[in-house]
Chain A
């Protein structure tokens, strides 16, 4: 079979591909939301604490940046499996095992994409400095009030970066997913694995379609981040 020219129209997508695409988008959305929820207070704390062992935690959070995803996936599989520390705990409280489920994928991608969310948030919070918060305090704002009305609005470019990077990075997940999720259509089969499958059986046209789509989408997301950051930084240097 020769190389089939890429088919751009929807007819080119098999039903399987479409399911993989939807699973991927669902996973990326859920993971990003969880990361924002967990990551915002953590990043805030990291940006402001004087804690001596802060670097330790920062290094742990940054690990997924350098670790081969398969290593991360392997340990997750071990930890979440029936015999693993977390897996056995879940089983004793009556939960279903996580490996090869969508929930397991969410756990994996939250850990895998964590630095992409924490770091932009932490940098944005640190860049605010303490002055605007002090000003807010002298204007009668309580600590929580200062956080929501000063820190978050001033860190908005960081939030945009964190959201887009966390989302895009989850889209491209492969190693972790393969290890912990397997390749179950409709449950754990993601776009990146679907592409791999197409290439395996030499369906280059399908592979082109999915890869090209992912490439374009990722590029547009990053373009959004960079242009937004430029806009924000222009506003901030003028103050």
Chain B
């Protein structure tokens, strides 16, 4: 359990935090720029002095009241937004900087593992200014991991990179997630990163935590702003069920049925996460048969909320999985949509994240 409770005066707003987060998996901290999410991360690390706070990680007290453990004594790994490698040290020396400061008996074999996990063995003897942006960030992630941190803090590690570099690093972050047991706090304002990596989600707006919970649940909670707007989407945990070679399709099953998507080279049984945008889901009272849409599922309406004046967002229950649909208020009225009603959802497009 990661507990953080404090207040911090910032220019323009008060950062007011009272969180209890799971000490496993990736917790995404999501919100618009300037909402205080980076400050929250810095506060947990001890980089932001707090007059009065409770920061307790897995029962270890990092700050209680005014008494705070200094940054260098906290068992953290921190990845900054821009890969802050020391320019006066080469890659290997950067990696060893932290390791050398840990007593031998407390070291784990994480450095070799991190080097291998992030594929940086060929870079070790290079000087830091010979690296590309993506390579630099990989080195700084490995540097943080080499310390065997009990908590990994990542502050928008991809935001300084262009699209291609982002795609280059993403798989490594996913490997971290699946292969290491270190809990991660991951700050981001990019929904695609959150959708791909996070298990748990903390939503922030103007210094206030507006919601905290399992990511799939949070994303379909209609009283949160995240469930509204063009990016609104549902996440569905699913697994690869079969491949259809005749039509070059892959079938992916989840609690509410089976999605057909364009062929993916994934082994049968592989767990995958699907992201379905609210705007790609339409509703129909009867199971349409003469339609080009393949992905049609039975569902019941959980909740309906207005979106602006012309549209509504509908949360649907598909035997345990939630989906969002955005339709016009006129359609909602014509179909007489109301909570509890059974109907069919038609999913126009779905993304594997």
Residues of A within 8 A of B (CB): 131-132, 134-142, 145, 149-150, 153-154, 156, 235-236, 238-239
Residues of B within 8 A of A145 (CB): 72, 101
Closest chain A CB from B65 CB (angstroms): 22
B304 within 8 A of A: no
Cα separation A165 to B84 with both chains bound (whole Å): 31
Q: Which of A138, A235, A238 contacts B45 (CB 8 A)?
A: A138
Residues of A within 8 A of B45 (CB): 138
Shortest A150–chain B CB gap in Å is 7
Given A136-B97, A137-B47, A140-B101; 20 other pairs, CB 8 A cutoff: A132-B84, A132-B86, A134-B71, A135-B78, A135-B80, A137-B46, A138-B45, A138-B72, A138-B76, A138-B78, A139-B97, A139-B98, A140-B73, A140-B98, A141-B97, A142-B72, A154-B87, A154-B88, A156-B88, A236-B87
Q: Does the CB pair A139–B88 fall under 8 Å?
A: no
- A136 to chain B: which residues have CB within 8 Å? 72, 86, 97
Which A residues lie within 8 Å of B76 (CB)?
A: 138
Pairs A-B, 10 closest by C-beta atoms: A139-B98, A138-B78, A140-B101, A137-B71, A238-B129, A153-B88, A239-B87, A135-B84, A140-B72, A137-B72
State the CA gap A197–B117 with chains docked (Å).
Answer: 74
Residues in B101-139 with C-beta less than 8 Å from chain A: 101-102, 128-129
Cα of A16 to Cα of B3 in the assembled complex, Å? 76
Q: Please determine whether A239 and B128 come into contact, CB atoms closer than 8 angstroms.
A: yes
Separation of A141 and B143 alpha carbons in the complex (Å): 14
The smallest C-beta distance from B133 to any residue of chain A, in angstroms, reads 11
A134 to B45, CA, bound (A): 10
Q: Output the least CB separation between B199 and chain A (Å).
A: 24
Q: List 24 A-B contacts (CB under 8 A).
A: A132-B84, A132-B86, A134-B47, A134-B80, A134-B84, A135-B80, A135-B84, A137-B46, A137-B72, A138-B47, A138-B72, A138-B76, A139-B97, A139-B98, A139-B143, A140-B73, A140-B98, A140-B147, A141-B97, A141-B101, A142-B70, A145-B72, A235-B87, A239-B85
Q: Which of A138, A154, A236 contacts B71 (CB 8 A)?
A: A138
| A239 pairs with B129, CB closer than 8 A | yes
**Measured between C-beta atoms, what is the minimum distance from B237 to chain A in Å?**
33
- Complex alpha-carbon distance, A38 and B143, angstroms: 35
Task: Give the chain B neighbours of A138 by CB distance below 8 A.
Answer: 45, 47, 71-72, 76-78, 98, 144
Select from chain A the residue with minimum beta-carbon distance to B98: A139
Question: On chain B, which size bracket covers the interface?
Answer: 20 to 34
Chain A residues lying within 8 Å of B147, measured Cβ to Cβ, are 139-140
A149 to B144, CA, bound (A): 18
Q: Which secondary structure dominates chain A's binding surface? A: helix
> In the assembly, what is the distance between CA of A236 and CA of B86, in Å?
10
CB distance from A237 to the nearest CB of B (A): 9
Convert B132-166 into 0s and 1s, putting 1 for each residue whose CB lies closer than 8 angstroms to a CB of A. 00000000000110010000000000000000000
Q: Give the docked Cα–Cα distance between A137 and B98 (Å).
A: 9
In the bound complex, what is the Cα–Cα distance between A235 and B85 (angstroms)?
13
Residue in A137, A140, A142 whose Cβ sees the most chain B Cβ within 10 Å? A140
Q: In the docked arrangement, what's the CA distance between A79 and B18, Å?
A: 60
Interface centre among A137, A139, A238 (most CB of B within 10 A): A139
Q: Is the Cβ of A235 less than 8 Å from the Cβ of B129? A: yes
Set of chain B residues within 8 Å of A141, measured between Cβ atoms? 72, 97-98, 101
A140 and B102 contact, CB distance less than 8 A: yes
Most buried by A among B47, B88, B144: B88
**Contact partners of B86 in chain A: CB under 8 A:** 132, 135-136, 150, 154
Give A154 to B128 CA distance when docked, in angstroms.
14
For A154, the closest partner residue in chain B by CB is B88
CA distance A139 to B71 in the complex (A): 9
Known: A131-B80, A239-B85, A239-B87. A139 touches B101 (CB 8 A): yes
Residues from chain B with a CB closer than 8 A to the CB of A139 are 72, 97-98, 101, 143, 147
Scoring B47, B73, B87, B144 by chain A CB atoms within 10 A of each residue's CB, the highest score goes to B87
Give min CB distance, A44 to chain B, whole Å: 17
Min CB distance, B127 to chain A, in Å? 9
B5 to chain A, nearest CB (A): 22
CA of A79 to CA of B98, assembled, Å: 51
Task: For the complex, give the distance between the alpha carbons of A136 and B72 in Å.
Answer: 8
Please indicate the chain A residues that have their CB under 8 angstroms from the CB of B87 in the complex: 154, 235-236, 239
Q: Which residues does chain B contribute within 8 Å of A238, judged by CB atoms? A: 129
Set of chain B residues within 8 Å of A134, measured between Cβ atoms: 47, 71, 80, 84
Q: What A residues does B70 contact at CB under 8 A?
A: 137, 142
In B56-105, the 8 Å CB interface with A consists of 70-73, 76-78, 80, 84-88, 97-98, 101-102
Shortest CB-to-CB span from A172 to chain B, Å, is 33
Q: Taking CB as reference atom, which chain B residue is nearest A156?
A: B88
Closest residue of A by beta carbon distance from B75 = A140
Rounded to whole Å, the gap between the CB of A174 and the closest CB of chain B is 39
Residue of B nearest to A140 (CB): B101
A134–B144 Cα distance when bound, in Å, is 13
